[in-house]
Structures are given as C-alpha cells and as structure tokens.
Structure 1
Amino acid sequence: MTDFAYKPTLTGDLVVLRPLDEGDYEALAAAMADPDVTRLTGSHQEISEEQAREWMRTRKDQTDRLDLAIVDRASGQVVGEAVLNDWDRDNKCCNFRILIGPAGQGRGLGTEATRLIIGYGIGQIGLHRISLGVYAFNPRAQRAYEKAGFKVEGVLRDALLWEGKWVDEIVMSILASEWIPSKV
C-alpha cells in the first residue's frame, strides 16, 4: 500500500481529474455559491477567500488525502472536486466526497469522476473500503453512488439540521472485492 503523496491526473472520456490548486478557487467558489450545491453538501461553514486559497495551496503537500479538480473535457472548465480523505492506513479505508457545480451537472461528469477516483483508490492505493455519506434529500446522488457500486450500510438519523429541519445521512461504502471498473 502506498500513500497519497503522489497526485495523479486521471483521464476519462468526459472528465480529467487533476491535482487541485489555488487557481481553482474561482470555479469552486462559484460552485459553492449555488444554493442547491450548498444544500446538497450540507455546507453551513463559510470561510474567507484567503482561508480557502490557503487551503487549496496546501492540497499538493498532503500525504493522507487526495484532492482532485474535476475538469470538463468539452469546455476545459473546472466544474467540481473529487476527494479521498479521512484515510485510515491501518485498515486500508477512507472517505469519498464529490462536489459538482451547476456547469457540470446532468451530463455524467460526476459518475465518471467517481469511477476514476474510486478505481485509483482501490487499484493504485490499495484501499479495501471507501465510504461516503449522502443526505436523504439527495436521492439523485444516492442513485449515482449505487450505480458506481456503493451499497447502503445504514442511516445516521437527524445528522444535519438544515433550515430548521432534521435530515438523515445515508452511509454507503464499496469494498475492493465489489469494485467492477467497467460497471460505470
């Protein structure tokens, strides 16, 4: 098993995943400014532009996580990010999260980005298990994760308070033995 020090560029038919850097700030800030993206990711926290830029500047130096920008091959635009984080080296597992702004939605870019980064995590890093959480008000994402091979493990009840209402978080994972690269 290796670590996340190496930051690959992963190329698919629709997207290129490449290391995230400070130059991606504008595109990701625009994606996060979308009210639907904010809601679907459960993002309450606002950070300053300087904090966000500093965070992006340091992504290349992290050996315990992989932050990749999602670039739409048709337009060359950054439309989101795909991340493997919360790495548990001893248990060969980590968390996955993805964000796709409005410019990248509804065209299969997220599905392909998921396939690419999960394939890298299992095939190159040697991960045994990759997990994620998806809020109950995001069934479209849950279906996309299921299409990629993730299975529902359970529900964290009332995990998010959004606009005065409690929302469950659905916990999902995929095991290396379940990964079928051609499935997505």
Structure 2
Amino acid sequence: MPVLIESARLILRRTEERDLAFVAEAESSPENKPFIGQWSLDEHHEALTDPDLLHLIVQEPGGERIGYVIVTGLRDPNLSVCIKRIAIEAKGKGYGSEMLRSLRDWLFQNTGVHRLWLDVKTHNARAQHVYERAGFRAEGILRECIKVQDTFESLQIMSILREEYERLL
C-alpha cells in the first residue's frame, strides 16, 4: 500500500482490512483503553471506505505497526478537520509526538483545512502536553460528557488554526 505520510522514523499509510485485528487490539489495550473511544470492527471496517475519513496505520519503516490514527471531517464545509483517535502502542519513544507533527503538517500542506482540532480526556495530561507542543491550544472543556460505567468524564477541546500553524514554520 502506498505511503501517505513519511517522517524520519515513521510511515503513515491507509489502514487495510488485514490491519483491523491490530487496530482492535491497540484500541482495547490496557494502556490505551482508558483514554480513547472504542469502535466495533464493523465501524472500523466502514471507516476504511468513508471519503470523509482517513484511517491510517502508523508504522516503522521496516513495517512494524506501532499504532493507528483516525481523521474525520475531510469534507467539512467549514474546513474544520478532527483528529478523532490516536492509539500508539510503543509508548515513551516519541512516536506519538512525531506522528502528530507529521499528520498536522500533511493536513495543512495538502488540504484546505482551516482548523484542526481534537478532544482529549481531562485526566490525560501526557497527551495534552504533546498536543500543546504541536501548537494546539486549549479551547474549553466539555464537562462530564462521557459516561464510563457509573461515572462521567470530561473532555478538553484543543485546536490549531491555519494562521497559527503558519507562524510555527
């Protein structure tokens, strides 16, 4: 499958059906599950052909899959694109930061996106720090918007605008 995005240590390519077992495993791993939403295999399968989404595998140049990312809103008339989900299995190696910067750069350089945004659970300080370093700014909190068993969790909305991205260059 052709490479969509390439950085010094990573390749991002479109997810294929053969990758879906890996995606499900990464999504439900104990290190990722508390921080990201969960989709069924059918939802992931449908996403592979949705023209409004990018469902990408993150891998090392040698082919070792280390995670995946989902981007939504590619056809949004307001040019507001969402990084829906990031799941990286190899923690603490800088892959998440490198993937985010590479994806951010590709989106701003290859699409008409005006606003790139994401949400992150308020208790996920590690991810919030990564997003801030990539130029994302906190916009506000969706208070107790996700029910997790018998409790509720809040989401921090973060974004970067095209003009803010261009100032980073």
Higher relative contact order (Cα pairs below 8 Å, separated by 6+ residues): 1
Distance in 2, Cα, partners of 1:82 & 1:14: 16
Q: Contact conserved, 2:5 with 2:102, CA < 8 A, in 1?
A: yes
Distance in 2, Cα, partners of 1:181 & 1:119: 12
Distance change in 2, residues 1:182/1:69 (3 Å): farther
Q: Contact conserved, 1:27 with 1:79, CA < 8 A, in 2?
A: no
Over the matched positions of the two proteins, sequence identity in percent amounts to: 25
Q: After superposition, where does 1:23-102 map in structure 2 within 5 Å?
A: 23-43=18-38, 47=40, 49=41, 51=42, 54-55=45-46, 59=48, 61-73=49-61, 76-87=63-74, 89-102=76-89
TM value normalised by structure 2:
0.87
- Residue deviations 1:39-98 (CA, integer Å, cap 9, x gap): 11043x5x3x5x26733xx61x3322212110123x522121122203453211111133
**Alignment-derived partner of residue 4 in structure 1:** none
Q: After superposition, where does 1:121-160 map in structure 2 within 5 Å?
A: 121-160=107-146
**Alignment-derived partner of residue 5 in structure 2:** 10
**Alpha-carbon distance, 1:36 to partner:** 2.8
**RMSD over aligned Cα atoms:** 2.3
> Is the counterpart of residue 112 in structure 1 residue 98 in structure 2?
yes
Q: Contact conserved, 1:34 with 1:101, CA < 8 A, in 2?
A: no
**Alpha-carbon distance, 1:168 to partner:** 1.1
**Alignment-derived partner of residue 3 in structure 1:** none
Q: Contact conserved, 2:88 with 2:96, CA < 8 A, in 1?
A: no
**Alpha-carbon distance, 1:29 to partner:** 2.1
Distance change in 2, residues 1:84/1:8 (3 Å): farther
Amino acid at match of 2:57: A
Distance in 2, Cα, partners of 1:53 & 1:162: 21
Correspondence for 1:21 among 16, 26, 30: 16
TM value normalised by structure 1:
0.80
Amino acid at match of 2:82: N
Distance in 1, Cα, partners of 2:147 & 2:21: 28
* SS class of match (2:35): helix
Distance change in 2, residues 1:82/1:53 (3 Å): closer
How many pairs align?
Answer: 168
Q: Which runs of 4+ in 1 moved over 6 A?
A: none
Amino acid at match of 1:54: H
